[in-house]
Amino acid sequence: MGYLRGFAVTLRKLFKGTETGRVVTTQYPDEKRPKPVRFHGRHVLNRYEDGMEKCIGCELCAGVCPARCIYVRGADNPPDDPVSPGERFGYVYEINYLRCIHCDLCVEACPTEAITESKLFEFSFTNRADAIYTKDELVVGDDGRPQQLPWEDWHPGDDEHTSAWVRATSPSGRADYEGQVAWSGELGYGIRPPERGQAADEEGDGPDPDDRGHDGHGGHQ
């Protein structure tokens, strides 16, 4: 008789939601909850506003990854046709999404803000090879937008405000950086507005969107 009581609870909850109009269950995939600003999803490799790649092949992201899902190899920039503004660029870049735990430590470690995470999490693979994203699949297109692969279900807003979590953290926790632009310009997006901090919220004053930070390019000193 115990299982009958269990069914009775299910039926009561079903009709209770219908009577009150308060249905808790989301009818996925027709209805989807909005994603938080700091949601961690599929990675992208960004470019500067002039089209140059931000990745310099330093391999710090691979070194800090606890799941060991990132493989990077750097190479010297061709003098006649450089890929990145530095001396080196990411010649090989791979992420194995069968291992990735989306901790975002790679984003924190990146010195050039080359790798960020989008809000895309709805993607499935028919074979293991598709789960290993190559550099050609990770680098944004000529419009600065992430490439949409056949097995990915992108929705409006999934590519916006990538990795806001890292932008919200100030260097060494210093409150002096609240309201300062700490994110270099990106192809297709420009220079993103600074994050509001606790002090700004308490004072009720928002940051100045025209503030370009300490070095005029949106980076830290």
The tokens describing 4, both together, are 């009958």
pLDDT tens for the chain, residues 1 to 221: 567 777 887 777 666 655 556 666 777 777 788 888 778 899 999 999 999 999 999 999 999 999 999 999 999 999 898 999 989 999 999 999 999 999 989 998 998 889 999 999 888 888 999 999 999 999 999 998 999 999 998 888 888 877 665 555 555 556 666 667 767 788 888 887 766 655 555 554 444 444 433 333 333 32
**Residue 25 falls inside a structural domain:** no
**Residue 48 falls inside a structural domain:** yes
Q: Which residues pair with 74 in a beta bridge?
A: 90
Q: If we measure between CA atoms, which residue out of 145, 167, 164, 172 comes closest to residue 213?
A: 167
The tokens describing 163, both together, are 């990795």
Strand boundaries in 97-190, DSSP class E: 115-117, 132-133
pTM for the full model?
0.73
**Residue 75 falls inside a structural domain:** yes
**Residue 9 falls inside a structural domain:** no
Q: What is the pLDDT of residue 167?
A: 56
Q: What is the pLDDT of residue 21?
A: 60
Q: If we measure between CA atoms, which residue out of 219, 221, 220, 212 comes closest to residue 48?
A: 219
Report the CATH number that the domain containing residue 103 is assigned in CATH: 3.30.70.3270
Rounded Cα–Cα distance for residues 149 and 39 (Å) = 20
Q: How far apart are the first and last CA of the chain?
A: 70
Q: What is the pLDDT of residue 64?
A: 95
**Residue 128 falls inside a structural domain:** yes
Give the chain's length.
Answer: 221
Count of domains observed in the chain:
1
DSSP state of 190: B
Which range of residues forms the domain containing residue 61? 38-145+157-203
Q: If we measure between CA atoms, which residue out of 131, 182, 120, 202 comes closest to residue 157?
A: 120
Q: What is the pLDDT of residue 165?
A: 59
